[in-house]
Each structure stands twice: as structure tokens, then as C-alpha cells.
Amino acid sequence: MMYQCFIVHKNIVGFFVAAGLFLFVPTGFTQELGKEIFTQKCSACHSIGKGRLVGPDLAGVNDRRSEGWLLKFIKSPQAVINSGDPVAKALFEEFKMVMPDQALSDKQIRDILSFIKKNGISSSASTPPVALAGPVPQHEIELGRNLFQGKVRFANGGPSCTSCHHVKNDAVIGGGILARELTTVFSRMGGEGVRAILGGPPFPVMQAAYQGMPFTDDEIRALVGFLQHADQEHAYQQPRDYGWGLFGAGVGGVAVLMGFYCMIGRRRKKQSVNQDIYDRQIKSE
């Protein structure tokens, strides 16, 4: 309520008055802003005190790193890695992906950091990725694979994953190369990480592709199950199945072609030139 007044003032009285008022705004306000930005931009990949998702648990990050480092890193992780910073390089080694740049001001980042500080129950920074509880039933893996390839459509629409991603799996042929291969994504980020990404894709391209077309819980479960399966299986999968599939298709194709040529051949042999002339004459009568 009061804050809304301030915002109104900001418009009417002008920037400097508002900036003056801002100094007196209780820290709770800053935290609210921080929470909002965190939920929108960070929580798909980071938890605070609930373990690793796509990126590290951010509980206690204010104690682990200096503020200067955090401001630089959050704006552009790639730039910090490129600068040769050993901490950033180690994080990249561990998580095998670079966090996307965040277009945020210093103030917004400080708001997030103060929200993290107040809400983080410290936990170990990198618990290993968790596997799904219990084996995934075969029909779910099957559904996940079909959704991934677009053989089954998503309930709310949206493109198949193979339009951008590839997975090495016998039963999946081809796939896009726009985005990363997902064969071992499960080992890298665990069930929670993949689920978090599908719950709200943090990547602009993927986000745009599924804008307003969220996945259902069943679809997410099936896709995560399929990706876990693909990850576990890819190590000892032989191209044998795939080969037989192609071989089968080849044999089928040859059979069809041969049938086709036989028909043409039969017609040729049966109908002589004389027959043709005879037919024409019959017709013209």
C-alpha cells in the first residue's frame, strides 16, 4: 500500500524525490523485489537450501563469494570464465554448462542476494543429482519417447523436442542440432533439474517455443523418465536394433519395388502390339 504511494510519487514528484524516499524503504521491500526476480529468472535452475538443480544450491553463496564477484558473475558467467577466474572455471567443470547471462542491474542483483541471504538454510553446495524414485514403468518411457519425437502431440500444443534436440537412442532417429544433445542431460542435472527446466524453460528459445503451452504433469513425468532411460541405456546400446529396423525397411522397399516392376513386366509381355491395335479398333467402333 505505502509502496504504491511511493511509486505514484515517483511519477509525479520526480525521480530525485523518489530516490530520497527510497533510502527509507524498509529492507523487506528490497527482499520482496529480490524474491520476485529470483522466482522469475533463477528458480528454474537454482534452489536456496533445497539442493542442486541445474545449477548449484545458492544457500550461503553470499559467504562463499565476494559481492564483487557475484555481481560480475551473475551478469555474465561466460565473461568471468573467459577471464580465467579459477572459481568460475571449476563451477563450469562441475556443472558442464554455462549459466545464461542475466540482464540485471547491480541493484536488482543485490536485491536477489539479500533475498537469498534471508532465506537460505545453509546446505552443502552441491549434492549430487538425484535419480527418479523407483524404476520408471515401460509405458511412461514409451510415452516420453513418443512425445520427444512428436509421434504423440503435447496436450497443449508446442513443437516436439526433436525439432531442436537430439538424443542418442536406438528408437529415436535423427533430431535437431539447434540446441544441446540431451543423451546425458540426466546425469548432469538429475530428475529435479530436468523437471525444473520443463516446468519453466529458462532458455529464451525454448521458452518462446512453448509460450502459453505448458506441459502437463504426466508429460513432464514421461519426458523425465525417458531422458533418464536414454541416459542409462546409451552406454550399452548397440546400433543393432537400429540396423534391423533399417534392414527391415529396406527389404520392404525392395519387395514393393519388385512387385511394381513385375506388374509392369507382366503387362508388357501379355499385351502385344497387335493387342493394342485390336483394342483401339474395338474402341473406335
- Residues whose CB is less than 8 angstroms from the CB of residue 97 and which lie 6 or more positions away in sequence, other chains included: 54, 180, 188
If residue 112 lies in a helix (H) or strand (E), which one and from where to where? helix 106-119
Question: Considering beta carbons, is residue 131 or 179 the nearer one to ligand HEC?
Answer: 179
Site for ligand HEC in 27-46 (CB under 6 A): 41-42, 44-46
Binding-residue pattern over the window 119 to 148 for ligand HEC, x denoting contact by CB under 6 A = ------x-----------------------
Selected range binding ligand HEC among 27-35, 131-139, 161-169, 249-257, rule: CB under 6 A: 161-169
Q: Does 71 bind ligand HEC (CB under 6 A)?
A: no
Question: Considering beta carbons, is residue 93 or 285 the nearer one to ligand HEC?
Answer: 93
Q: What is the DSSP letter of 40?
A: I
Spatial distance between the Cα atoms of 43 and 256, rounded to a whole number of angstroms = 55
Contact 31, 115 (CB under 8 A): yes
Site for ligand HEC in 177-206 (CB under 6 A): 178-180, 182, 185, 188, 194, 197-198, 202-203, 205-206
Q: Does 62 bind ligand HEC (CB under 6 A)?
A: no
Taking alpha carbons only, the member of 196, 189, 203 closest to residue 220 is: 196
Selected range binding ligand HEC among 7-15, 59-67, 240-248, 273-281, rule: CB under 6 A: 59-67
Query: In whole angstroms, what separates CA 149 from the centre of its chain?
Result: 14
Contact 196, 44 (CB under 8 A): yes
Query: In whole angstroms, what separates CA 84 from the centre of its chain?
Result: 28
Contact 44, 53 (CB under 8 A): yes
Contact 253, 227 (CB under 8 A): no
Question: Considering beta carbons, is residue 104 or 152 the nearer one to ligand HEC?
Answer: 104
Question: Considering beta carbons, is residue 108 or 237 the nearer one to ligand HEC?
Answer: 108
Question: Considering beta carbons, is residue 29 or 69 the nearer one to ligand HEC?
Answer: 69
Query: What is the CB neighbour count within 10 angstroms for residue 258?
Result: 11
Binding-residue pattern over the window 248 to 267 for ligand HEC, x denoting contact by CB under 6 A = --------------------
Query: In whole angstroms, what separates CA 124 from the centre of its chain?
Result: 26
Residues in contact with ligand HEC by the rule CB under 6 A: 41-42, 44-46, 54-56, 58, 61, 64-65, 70, 73-74, 77, 91-92, 95, 97-100, 102, 104, 112, 125, 159, 161, 163-165, 178-180, 182, 185, 188, 194, 197-198, 202-203, 205-206, 209, 223
